[in-house]
């Protein structure tokens, strides 16, 4: 039997992959660089949201197995990832 947290995390990754493939097909269909950049910009928003959602599900699944300090370190690490992604 699959763990419900693992199933949720994997489902989000399948969704993310599907969005990426559909975006690539849309870029090919549009056939223009300016339109492809718009599609790519939309993907820049989807990626971090999937990362945050997947990490959140994983942390909820581990919450009873990890100490508060370990959870804090993980959250700090995720915060640094988002800081690095979103910093201009």
Q: What tens digit of pLDDT does each residue of 16-55 get?
A: 999 999 999 999 999 999 999 999 988 888 888 898 899 8
Identify the pLDDT of residue 67. Answer: 83
Task: Report how far residue 5's alpha carbon sits from residue 16's, in angstroms, rounded to the nearest whole number.
Answer: 17
Identify the pLDDT of residue 88. Answer: 65
Identify the pLDDT of residue 32. Answer: 94
Q: What residue spans define the domains of the chain?
A: 4-86
Q: CB of 17 within 8 A of CB of 54?
A: no
Identify the pLDDT of residue 40. Answer: 92
Task: Report how far residue 35's alpha carbon sits from residue 37's, in angstroms, rounded to the nearest whole number.
Answer: 5
The mean pLDDT value for 46-70 works out to 86
| Predicted model pTM | 0.73
Q: CB of 81 within 8 A of CB of 52?
A: no
Alpha helices in the chain (DSSP H): 4-30, 33-62, 68-86
């Amino acid at each position: 039997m699959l763990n419900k947290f693992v199933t949720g995390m994997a489902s989000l990754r399948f969704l993310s992959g599907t969005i990426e493939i559909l975006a690539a097909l849309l870029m090919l269909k549009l056939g223009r660089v300016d339109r492809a950049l718009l599609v790519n910009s939309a993907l820049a928003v989807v990626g971090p949201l999937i990362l945050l959602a997947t990490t959140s599900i994983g942390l909820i699944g581990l919450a009873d197995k990890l100490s508060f300090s370990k959870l804090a370190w993980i959250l700090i690490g995720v915060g640094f990832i988002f800081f690095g992604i979103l910093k201009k």
